[in-house]
Structure formats: C-alpha cells, structure tokens
C-alpha cells in the first residue's frame, strides 16, 4: 500500500469516526444537556430551567436517547415524592474536554464576529 492509499484510508476512518460521534452528539440539545450536567447531578426541572428554548417533551426524548447512548444515568431516589436525578456517566465525562474546547472556540468566535479580535 503506498502513502496515498494510507492517507485515504486514514481519512475514511476519521470521517467514519466523526460521523459516529455526530450521530450521538448531533442532536440539537445533547451538548446543552451535557453542559447542564457538567456541573453535577440535576433533576429534570433543573435541566429544563437551565436550557432556554427546550420543551419538556424534547428534554424527555433527549434524556432517553442520551441514556441509551450511555452518556448519562438516571437515578431514582426512594423519597416521597420520588425524586429522579440525572448525571453524566464516566463515559459521558470523557466528553468534558470536547465541551470545554467547543465553548472556548465559541467564545473566541463570538469575539471575532463582534470585531474585538483583530
């Protein structure tokens, strides 16, 4: 296999990996929810309050998808009334550096668009 073939295969693998990641993280609200949970366990109503523009129905759907993808865990507390908390799993916490970098880039981009970064 020559150098060009190796580069093509590497590119294909990287594109496939990005495709897989975007499938899981590409939902409109996934990163927002993860950012809310970045700071610790939260109840459904706390997450709903943290994220402007998300409906209760969409939050429920997103939480279920994220639980299926092992990014978050749902913990039911034996209290009266029953309390449900969500938190990032250890697997989900592996995305914290990605979220940090994304936020850093977003702040930089906002400054650049406002003409404050020249």
83-88/72-77 β-pairing? antiparallel
Would you identify the CATH topology of the domain 29-113?
Arc Repressor Mutant, subunit A (1.10.10)
Tell me which residue of 62, 86, 83 sits closest to 74, measured CA to CA: 86
**What does the CA dihedral 94, 97, 99, 104 come to, rounded to 10 degrees?**
180
**Residue carrying the six token digits 């990996």:** 17
CA distance 73 to 14: 28
pTM for the model: 0.82
Q: What is the mean pLDDT of the chain?
A: 92
Read off the pLDDT of residues 51-104 as tens digits, 9 standing for 90 and up.
999 999 999 999 999 999 999 999 999 888 899 999 999 999 999 999 999 999
CB 53 within 8 A of CB 66: no
CB 38 within 8 A of CB 99: yes
CA distance 13 to 31: 24
């Amino acid at each position: 296999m020559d150098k060009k073939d190796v580069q093509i295969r590497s590119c294909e693998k990287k594109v496939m990996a990005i495709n897989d990641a975007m499938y899981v993280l590409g939902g409109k609200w996934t990163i927002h929810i993860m950012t809310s949970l970045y700071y610790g366990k939260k109840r459904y109503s706390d997450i709903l309050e943290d994220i402007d523009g998300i409906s209760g129905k969409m939050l429920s759907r997103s939480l279920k998808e994220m639980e299926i993808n092992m990014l978050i865990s749902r913990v039911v507390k034996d209290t009266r009334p029953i309390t449900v908390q969500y938190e990032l799993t250890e697997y989900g916490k592996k995305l914290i550096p990605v979220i940090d970098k994304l936020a850093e880039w977003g702040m930089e981009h906002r400054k650049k668009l406002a003409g404050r970064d020249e």
